[in-house]
Structures are given as structure tokens and as C-alpha cells.
């Protein structure tokens, strides 16, 4: 009987540890600095858009040393914690309009889905 109680105690301890690792919160992703580029596209999905639930907007950069285009999103199910304020959007619009004179370096975290980059900050530099 004593052996049965010890086995049950061992099993319950093991199950508790297993459950703790399964339901433990995942660590937050650290901010990463993206490569500098010029704003080539700015997309805003209004609440009436079918895409709005997926993401509220995106900015696409053409990287400095190549012709590579990289998209950074915010809002929606792709990047639920990342929101941009109206003044921040105004700055991105200005960077788009003045793309020949302005370079943008994004700060991002990885979002939901394969390779989705979520814009969490940015720096503008005069070209």
C-alpha cells in the first residue's frame, strides 16, 4: 500500500510539473532593429476593409543595399498588441512623401503567422 501511495504521489507531481510547463506564459519577444530603407508603400486598412481584422496597416521598405522589399504591419490579428497613433501615422505619411530625402529604420517584434514583422517603433534619418 505504501508503494502505491508513493507511486501516486510521484505521478501527481510529474503531472503538475508537466501542466505547469504547458500552460506557462511564453516569453515576450524582444524588440529587434530592422534594416534601414525608404518607404515605398504605406497601406491603411479602414474598419470597413475585409483585411482590417488581419492587420490595420503596413509600411513596406526598400532596403538600402538591395532592391529587397520588407513589410512591417500593425494591429489586427497579425499584430494585436501593436497600435499606431494618428501622429505616428502622419510621420509615416511624411516619410513616404519625402522618401527620396528620408530613410527609416524600423523596430519590430515577430507577430502571428510566418515571418510577420510587427512595427513597434521607427527612426527617421535625413538622406
* pLDDT tens per residue, range 63-80: 988 989 999 999 999 999
What confidence tens digit (pLDDT) does each residue in 6-39 have? 443 433 444 333 333 333 334 456 899 999 999 9
Residue 53: per-residue pLDDT: 96
* Phi, psi torsion values for 47, nearest 5 degrees: -55, -20
Residue 11: per-residue pLDDT: 35
Closest CA to 56 of 30, 33, 74: 74
CA distance 58 to 56: 7
Going by DSSP bridges, is the β-strand pair 69-74/102-110 parallel, antiparallel, or unpaired? unpaired
- Local structure of 22: helix, strand or coil: helix
**Mean confidence (pLDDT) of the chain:** 83
**pTM, whole model, 2 decimals?**
0.76
Residue 64: per-residue pLDDT: 86
Note whether 104 and 123 are within 8 A (CB).
yes
Amino acid at each position: 500500500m505504501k508503494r502505491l501511495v508513493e507511486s501516486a504521489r510521484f505521478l501527481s507531481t510529474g503531472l503538475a510539473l508537466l501542466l505547469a510547463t504547458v500552460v506557462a506564459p511564453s516569453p515576450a519577444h524582444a524588440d529587434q532593429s530592422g534594416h534601414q530603407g525608404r518607404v515605398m508603400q504605406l497601406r491603411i486598412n479602414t474598419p470597413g476593409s475585409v483585411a482590417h481584422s488581419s492587420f490595420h496597416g503596413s509600411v513596406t521598405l526598400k532596403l538600402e543595399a538591395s532592391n529587397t522589399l520588407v513589410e512591417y504591419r500593425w494591429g489586427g490579428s497579425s499584430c494585436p498588441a501593436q497600435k499606431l497613433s494618428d501622429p505616428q501615422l502622419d510621420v509615416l505619411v511624411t516619410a513616404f512623401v519625402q522618401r527620396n530625402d528620408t530613410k527609416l529604420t524600423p523596430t519590430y517584434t515577430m507577430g502571428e503567422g510566418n515571418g510577420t514583422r510587427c512595427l513597434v517603433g521607427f527612426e527617421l534619418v535625413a538622406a
